[in-house]
Amino acid sequence: MPSYRTIIHRPFLSPELQTQLARFGRLQSRSGYWLLEHASPLVLETLRRELGCDVNTLPLDFAPEKTRLVVTDLDSTLVAIETIDELAAVLGLRDQVSAITARAMAGELDFVAALKERVALLEGLPQEVLERVFTEKMKPAIQPGAQATLAWLKQRGIATAVVSGGFTFFTERLQKTLPIDSSLACQLEVRDGRLTGKLIGQIVDKYAKAEFLKDLARRLRISLEQTVAVGDGANDVLMLELAGLGVAYRAHAIARERASVLIDYGDWHDLRYLLAP
């Protein structure tokens, strides 16, 4: 029979809860979480509601100890903002742009068309605003536990990457701030110190994200089963499905449906529990 491994993302369980959960299988206390090994699938949504925490069963073919690559989305995943919305806010266009962003991330709009529409609204924005948004908005919005967890991954020889339908200006600076090995994003066109409202080169849509994951796996000479992808929206669904473990981080429904596991209650610290059961 298959042996399922379910992570209960909370450090403390009352004796009563321990007794209740032990009926399903072997319950073990770990550092910051509990591991339940069991023979039959569990109804996870019920347990999440009852326990008030994330509860995730790992895929049967995923071996956490063999993980060699973690690829994460940027906006609303690695950082708690949507960068393009913050840029638009400077022009007084936050509401207009954020409405398009929300619909695109929910899968209601074509991502490429929606991105071009939003970038066009940024025409004329001074380039120095990007630096201000990075310093004042993005750096303070790095998700709780992200920096420590990325360092934890690096210590274990696990490569890290950020892939974004956002912009290279920000991903390149994050690589200097966080322990991130590689990145892929879109490039904003700048002329005479101002945004033109256009992009240069490749647009990083869901297909580009999936190819980036596969390319990194090839370069590292590992299988896709040894990879983890983290994301929150429609642009992430293909890489979530491709990876050995697809993590939906406080995600839209379209990403939640396609991911292996969900992080709703916790933060980036919880990624460690999924990789060290």
pLDDT in tens, 93-123: 999 999 998 898 888 988 999 999 999 999 9
Mean pLDDT, all residues of the chain: 96
Mean pLDDT of 52-79: 97
Which of 54, 61, 73, 267 does the annotation list as catalytic?
73
> In the structure encoding, which two tokens stand for residue 228, read together?
């983890």
Q: Assess whether 85 carries a catalytic annotation.
A: no
Looking only at the bridges linking them, the beta strands covering 194-200 and 182-191 are antiparallel
**pLDDT tens for each residue of 196-234:** 999 999 999 999 999 999 999 999 999 999 999 999 999
Say whether pLDDT at 2 is over 80: no
pLDDT for res 277? 62
Q: Assess whether 61 carries a catalytic annotation.
A: no
**pLDDT tens for each residue of 128-174:** 999 999 999 999 999 999 999 999 999 999 999 999 999 999 999 99
Architecture of the domain made up of 69-275: 3-Layer(aba) Sandwich (3.40)
Domain boundaries, the chain: 4-57, 69-275
pLDDT > 70 in the chain, percent = 99
> In the structure encoding, which two tokens stand for residue 137, read together?
């908005």
Query: Which band of pLDDT confidence, cut at 50, 70 and 90, is reported for residue 252?
Result: very high
**Which run of H or of E encompasses 184?**
strand 182-191
3-state secondary structure of 80: coil
Which of 54, 75, 85, 270 does the annotation list as catalytic?
75
Residue 160 backbone phi and psi in degrees, to 5: -130, 150
Alpha carbons 236 and 105: distance in angstroms, whole number: 9
pLDDT for res 107? 86
pLDDT for res 75? 97
**pLDDT tens for each residue of 19-33:** 999 999 999 999 999
Q: How far is CA 176 from CA 207, 223, 234, in A?
A: 26, 28, 28
Alpha carbons 178 and 184: distance in angstroms, whole number: 15
Say whether pLDDT at 8 is over 70: yes
